[in-house]
Amino acid sequence: MTNQVCSEVLVHPAVDVFENETSYVLTIEVPGATKEDVDLTLEKSVLSISASANACIPEGYSPVSGDCSARRYQRAFRLSDDVDQSGIDASVKDGLLKVVLPKSVAAKSQKLEVKEG
């Protein structure tokens, strides 16, 4: 068997988007990435997400065959004016990146008073 060199593969990770009254939440699949491997940038209302994960090669072994590859995850999202960009929060756990995008005060629904007359 020939020795195969692991290369880096660019991955467009799966993303789910959820919403409640106060925020939007993005959950992004980044298996193998830790918080040190994740990079979030916000520029001109575009949230860019980049993460990396090394190939899982057992210590003392070298790859011979298969799909071992380091992965680079990348996604970008244009944020609307509904998002309070100063309050964005992110965390990663068990291969899932969670990004909370709080809604701006103007975007939150509110009960309006109805007057007689």
Phi, psi at 97, each rounded to 5°: -90, 125
Give how many domains the chain has, as a whole number.
1
Q: What is the pLDDT of residue 5?
A: 53
**In-domain check, residue 115:** no
First to last CA, the chain: 87
- Rounded to whole angstroms, the Cα distance separating 33 from 114 reads 51
113 occurs within a structural domain: no
3-state secondary structure of 67: coil
Please check whether residue 110 lies inside any domain of the structure: no
Over residues 28-56, the pLDDT tens digits come to 999 989 999 999 999 999 999 999 998 77
Query: Burial letters for 63-96: b for 16+ Cβ neighbours within 10 Å, e otherwise?
Result: eeeeebbebebebebebeeebbeeebebebeeee
Question: Residue 50 maps to which CATH number?
Answer: 2.60.40.790
Q: Which residues form the domain of 42?
A: 8-56+64-104
